[in-house]
Amino acid sequence: MKLTKLPKEFAEAAPLLKKIEAAGYEAYFVGGSVRDTILGQPIHDVDIATSAFPAEIKALFPRTIDIGIEHGTVLVLWEQAQYEITTFRTEAAYQDYRRPDKVDFVRSLKEDLKRRDFTINALALQEDGVIIDLFDGLADIDNQILRAVGHPQERFHEDALRMMRGLRFVSQLGFVLETETLAAIHANHALLGKISVERIMIEFVKLLLGNHRNQALRALVETECYIYCPGLREYGEALLRMADLPAIPLENETAAWVLLIDQMGLAPEAVRSFLKAWKCSNDCIRQVHTAYQALLARRNGEWNDLVLYQFGLEATCLAEGLLRYDNQPNDPAKISQRYQQLPIHSLKELAINGRDLLQTIDRSSGPWLKEVLTAAEAAVITRKIPNEKEALLAFVQAYLAKEG
Ligand code: ATP
Ligand code: MG
């Protein structure tokens, strides 16, 4: 097969391939960008594979960075762009079902394509548009099939992460796992226990964010891979319930975690340790926790100004958007507008502060300050009083008088 019109990302990188070829080596575009081009989807990163060894690539290009030279990868800076150029390699010596630490460089494209995970990812594209398809990846793309290159059992033994990659491609592409590949994933699912959480998490999040999430969640349960995902061992049923939710793609990672946690029915106090087990960042944990609490608050009743203020714009809009998975009407833009219209958005915007109170009221500093400010804040947000100094001071006096 020959592509007649290459996407501009390939056209821009074609001179690199020509230069490598002029020096007597082979060079091809490989990996996801070739697959996505054939699928008519936009491409992100252009990867190049070559028979030239890293030192030979560095001799050809003046501006390079060693980013993974022990794995054969050199970053070449070319005009405004940069390209990863990786020497053909085999990964014969696998230990512990993980990526090998050492790779052997080879001069044969076939050897390089053989070690790739799925046939649809084992295509090579020449600079003139000709596609080299040694493992029938084109037919599998046509038939929407995910098939391991070579013997699936061996391939998942070499690197167990490939099983999670397979499931995430189900979600991203809507393809079906070929029978033997599926059976081998099921048979080897426990090998995921050898894979670092960080690597599993990258694939799992991509799985949740794919357009065919529901299909992939079912496959995750069917193959029992979920058992080796942090904190999910007891939640097969929850994952299947999640797979029955409306097939609307999730907007971002935070939304994905909230929807999952909600289906699991986790208590808000359990969110942190669950996400810690996944090694999520503290930032991510904070966002998910707040948005989840906002969702639970919304389910308890309509939004009100205090709840909007308390959880903030991001969490409340996200929670509102998630109502669509409850088949509830929802309108995040309206919530955003309502939030903007709150009289204040943080305590800093309140027209009085602790210092004002100490100056006006004859009491020494103490816990009463915070209590009074919180009461004043609530009164402003619920529009009982305007956010003006005089009105606020009067409110505080009355509050303290009532309290005695
Ligand atoms: P994406 O579009 O998400 O980048 P991708 O297929 O390009 O998907 P990458 O992780 O960028 O995935 O890897 C590039 C290529 O390297 C893959 O297409 C595949 O050929 C090969 N590859 C990546 N990870 C593995 C693996 N664990 N085992 C075998 N081959 C792999
Ligand atoms: Mg890629």
pLDDT in tens, 330-380: 999 999 999 999 999 999 999 999 999 999 998 999 999 999 999 999 999
* Mean of pLDDT values over 170-180: 98
Which residue in this structure is represented by tokens 């949740």? 208
- Domain range for 31 is 1-142
> What is the per-residue pLDDT for 96?
64
C-alpha 326: how far from chain center: 23
Query: Which amino acid appears at position 118 of this protein?
Result: F
Give the number of other Cβ atoms within 10 Å of residue 299's Cβ: 12
Going from the Cα of 32 to the center of ligand 1, the distance in angstroms, rounded, reads 6
Which residue CA neighbors atom 11 of ligand 1 most closely? 32
pLDDT in tens, 254-301: 999 999 999 999 999 999 999 999 999 999 999 999 999 999 999 999
Is residue 232 within 8 Å of 190, Cβ to Cβ?
no
> What is the per-residue pLDDT for 70?
87
Domain count, the chain: 4
Going from the Cα of 203 to the center of ligand 1, the distance in angstroms, rounded, reads 11
In-domain check, residue 404: no
**Ligand nearest, relative to CA of residue 210:** 1
pLDDT in tens, 91-119: 765 556 666 666 789 999 999 999 999 99
Q: Are residues 196 and 110 in the same domain?
A: no
Q: What is the pTM of this model?
A: 0.93
* Mean of pLDDT values over 40-48: 94
Q: Are residues 108 and 149 in the same domain?
A: no
Helices 332-340 & 305-322 angle (0-180, nearest 10)? 160
Q: Are residues 8 and 131 in the same domain?
A: yes
pLDDT in tens, 125-174: 999 999 999 999 999 999 999 999 999 999 999 999 999 999 999 999 99
pLDDT in tens, 142-154: 999 999 999 999 9
32 lines ligand 1 (CB under 6 A): yes
Q: Is 35 a known ligand-binding residue?
A: yes
Q: Which of 120, 121, 171 has the most ligand 1 atoms within 8 A of CB, as the residue to mutate?
A: 121
Q: Are residues 11 and 112 in the same domain?
A: yes
Is residue 6 within 8 Å of 14, Cβ to Cβ?
yes
Q: Is 269 exposed, middle or buried (0-12, 13-18, 19+ CB in 10 A)?
A: exposed
Q: Are residues 278 and 361 in the same domain?
A: no
Confidence of residue 186 (pLDDT cuts 50, 70, 90): very high
List Cα–Cα distances, 300 to 264, 290, 329, in angstroms: 18, 15, 15
CATH number at residue 48: 3.30.460.10
Q: Are residues 155 and 213 in the same domain?
A: yes
Q: Are residues 3 and 126 in the same domain?
A: yes
> Domain ends where: 341, 370, 388?
341
Going from the Cα of 99 to the center of ligand 2, the distance in angstroms, rounded, reads 17
pLDDT in tens, 50-81: 999 999 999 999 999 999 888 999 999 999 99
The first and second tokens of residue 273, run together, are 């340790």
CATH number at residue 166: 1.10.110.30
Percent of the chain at pLDDT above 90? Answer: 92
Confidence of residue 403 (pLDDT cuts 50, 70, 90): confident
